[in-house]
Amino acid sequence: MWQLTGSGWFASRHAQSDYATTENGFCAKCHSPLQAYAPASFSNGAVANAPSVPQQRFQAVTCATCHPPDNITAQIGALNPSAMDGGAVSIYLWKGYNNPASYQTLSTGVNSDGTSQEDLLCLNCHEQRHNTDDSAMWAMMTTTYGPNGGPVRCIDCHMSEYQFIGGGSTGLPLLEERFHDWNVGADLPYSCGAVGSVSGCHNSTYSTFTVADAQNLIPFIKEQHTDWWTLPPFNGVVQAAVPAHGAPTLIEYKTLEREISKIDAM
């Protein structure tokens, strides 16, 4: 299982979010969720009610962050029959991984702006979509160009499928395997559906889209998250882009605080 799926995780930044500053029950909500303390908060530029997490207990964004244990998945699925994937992919909300009440399940379907509801899994920590002001990106994220006929989800680009196992005469359920390194550029041609991919999103009888084409395009749809604060809905609130965690002035601190406390209140 590890070989087939998780091996990419180890090389990703999801496996490496331990900075001395993140070793506390608040920052751990996103940087090492299994060690987070649900009541911890962020106030006046400082963490509050956040016990320290000893370095040896810090685990980063592990499998269990997105995949509840099997026995808990069964309980979540029974409680919420419409949960996406039967609850096998859920948002962990810090109340103990063996506690079904810790998990928020996901829905397929679209939000009122046309984006995918499944993306909540990522936006729970990543707070903002990137490049929403890029019309090509927005078109992808809000229309029916995705591999399954819906909007293009975060995972369609960042965890693209690269092969299927089971199904047919094997008697096993058909399982699509997805990259777990979250690295779009490294996972070409699959991540863009270029020539040689499974999805074929950007390759058809009418157009030939190669790995080189995709590599040339990527810089135009990449924008670092330091620009979060200038994107909708924050337009006009902060004039200068501030680093996601740098927040040098009081006003910027307050904006950061408001945003982080929204997560906190969930």
Binding site for ligand HEC (CB under 6 A): 1-2, 5-6, 9, 12-14, 16-17, 19, 21-22, 26-27, 29-31, 33, 47, 61, 63, 65-67, 85, 89, 119, 121-127, 129-130, 140-141, 152, 154-155, 157-159, 175-178, 180, 182-185, 218, 221-222, 225, 243-245, 260, 263
d(CA 137, CA 142): 9
CB-nearer residue toward ligand HEC: 78 or 222: 222
Tell me how far apart the 2 most distant CA atoms of the chain are, in Å: 63
Least distance CB 127 / ligand HEC (angstroms): 6
CB-nearer residue toward ligand HEC: 85 or 234: 85
Residue nearest to ligand HEC (CB): 6
Q: Which residues face 222 on adjacent strands? A: none
Angle at 264 between CA 263 and CA 266, to 5 degrees: 70
CB-nearer residue toward ligand HEC: 2 or 206: 2
Least distance CB 210 / ligand HEC (angstroms): 16
Structure tokens given for 44: 């006046």
Least distance CB 243 / ligand HEC (angstroms): 5
d(CA 252, CA 234): 12
CB-nearer residue toward ligand HEC: 185 or 248: 185
Least distance CB 90 / ligand HEC (angstroms): 10
CB-nearer residue toward ligand HEC: 110 or 125: 125
Q: What is the DSSP string of 81-143?
A: TTSGGGGTS-EE-SS-TT-GGGEE----SB-TTS-BGGGHHHHHHH-S-S-TTSHHHHHHHHS
Strand runs labelled E in the chain: 41-43, 46-48, 91-92, 103-104, 161-165, 175-178
Least distance CB 142 / ligand HEC (angstroms): 10
Least distance CB 205 / ligand HEC (angstroms): 22
d(CA 266, CA 262): 7
CB-nearer residue toward ligand HEC: 31 or 100: 31
